[in-house]
Chain A
């Protein structure tokens, strides 16, 4: 019994670097995707009145892959995995709020 416990503790050693890398990969993939999406929403709201709705959405989408790439690089360059999580969530919240504010301003209703 004791062996099993120690075995599992060894297996799920959250302080091991492997877990940190796994955790970072999760942020990079899902957090990065969320950031790419929220950033594309933000850009399309920003450009809504100057270039028309469809083109604004399209331009936002064109930039999304670059945002995704930068987010992933950021995730793997900060000091530890926790900071990566917090940073990406912060950025996501920022873009979401900014988009919402812009929507109030532009009067878009979607």
Chain B
């Protein structure tokens, strides 16, 4: 392509990053939010009660069991999720018996109020789950189409990461180099620093993202080698499951779950319980599985304790067996999802995800910054391609965060009994994104940047206020109740708002500086616009001429 390998890779890096940069930005941002999807869902369901401090696990289990005996008497398999750092409410879930003609019944999941023992009716909302599903499932598109789009984009991301390492000449000598300069050099440094410091993360997240749909993307290879039956065996080997526990259809009385829990407590020597799953309830073969927070990336059999619910004895578990490659595969999944992460590690995950997002954004801005001087000198204004990239940049890099804010607004402001409510939350988000994508077309680039930054600052800072006006689960109350998870959420909005306000202020300051320093150029640019208008008219006339000619040709032939 170009003279040497590095040059051609530089070209490749530029274009690979550009074509799907905005989709990648969307994927990285919604994916980063995904690390907090439970917290987001909790915020979006304000009907849930506040956290209750110092309630023993035994009492929680009793409450859940009383609730289940009232509402799910005939169900023989159910789960109890205890309040934890991420989700401060008690939750129970089970599957309804399957309707005829269907493979599985509907899954029921309810929040239980610890004080009253009743179920909490929350508003219909997509919650954090819908938001984080967008990063691999997109929205509106069919599952298959979006998997292939996402796969294509991730592949280009992987290419961008690899070529990025190849073309970065001084990866170690420039490791800490960040020159706070304006223009091209500054953006280049930002892009480099953001890429290099989180390089392991970028590679891991991209590669593991591809692994999630390995068997979809590389279906040709598996189809060539094995039949469908063998394929399902292959999957079983990679993702081993624990054996299914069948009921014996002999009714028996179970011990209380809180009594059984003592066994797990003794085994672990700690009082940390994450969830409980009961199999074959009220049957002779009833078993209860106690699960604590993960202590290994792939699988640690000690994190689970299986207890016979009739006799109260611990059942020795047959540990799942992984092959080496299966271990690597599952390890990458686990690293991608970060389920093992505690609160601080979760924040680190979130920040690193944001570093990735910012890396993509800085790369996109770099593209325009590099071409700006040349494009501005063109007699008939910047090219269509340049303007398109610039507008997409403004509409995505600042527009998408605003759109996500409107998703939260929609959650608070749409009427609670609205039909299709959760679908409309997402619709509102995408409509506002579309508006913000179109808006920069009608404004000069620097004004559009500033206005959208200001709008973003306003949108995020006003969210806690709207929260105060519409619900009782607002910042002040959550601080009084010491519900730190909820309070942190509102405070994060404020911090994000401040960040946007700061960047809007900085942006304005830079613009003003430029104006003061170089009034001549501004004058020049006005002339350029005038010329541009003239040229446009000329172009239109020529186009008309061409059209006439073509019609005439058609007539001839």
Interface residues of A (CB under 8 A from B): 1, 3-4, 24, 33, 36-37, 40-41, 44, 51-55, 57-62, 64-65, 68-69, 72-73, 76-79, 110
Contact = CB atoms under 8 A, between A and B. Distances in A.
Given A36-B218, A72-B159, A78-B1, A57 B226 contact: yes
A33 B224 CA distance: 14
A24 to B, nearest CB: 8
B234 A57 contact: yes
A33 B162 CA distance: 18
Contacts of B5: 77
Contact of A110 (B214, B221, B225): B225
B1 A73 contact: no
Interface in B2-26: 5, 8-9, 11-12
Main secondary structure on B side of the interface with A:
helix
A16 to B, nearest CB: 15
A7 B226 CA distance: 51
Contacts of A33: 220
Interface string B219-253: 01110111000100110011000000000000000
Contacts of A65: 155, 158, 207, 210-211
Given A41-B221, A69-B155, A110-B225, A55 B210 contact: no
Contact of B162 (A41, A61, A69): A69
A76 B1 contact: yes
Nearest to A45: B225
Contacts of A60: 221
Interface stretch (B323-331, B402-410, B471-479): B323-331
A76 B166 CA distance: 14
B510 interface: no
B8 A76 contact: yes
Nearest to B222: A57
A54 B218 contact: no
Residue from A44, A54, A60, A68 having most chain B Cβ neighbours under 10 A: A54
Contact of B329 (A62, A64, A79): A62
B556 interface: yes
B513 interface: no
28 contacts: A33-B220, A36-B218, A37-B218, A37-B220, A40-B218, A41-B225, A51-B324, A54-B234, A55-B237, A55-B324, A57-B234, A58-B237, A58-B329, A60-B221, A62-B211, A62-B214, A65-B155, A65-B210, A65-B211, A68-B155, A69-B155, A72-B159, A73-B159, A73-B162, A73-B166, A77-B12, A110-B224, A110-B226
A64 B328 CA distance: 15
Contacts of B12: 73, 76-77
A22 B329 CA distance: 34
B391 interface: no
Nearest to A28: B159
Nearest to A80: B1
Given A37-B224, A41-B225, A69-B162, A59 B549 contact: no
A55 B553 contact: no
B383 to A, nearest CB: 15
Nearest to B556: A1
B1 A54 contact: no
A73 B210 CA distance: 18
Given A37-B220, A40-B218, A76-B1, A58 B325 contact: yes
A77 B1 contact: yes
B282 interface: no
B224 A58 contact: no
A37 B210 CA distance: 15
B142 interface: no
Contacts of B553: 1, 3-4
B323 to A, nearest CB: 5
Contacts of A52: 323
A20 to B, nearest CB: 8
A60 B225 CA distance: 11
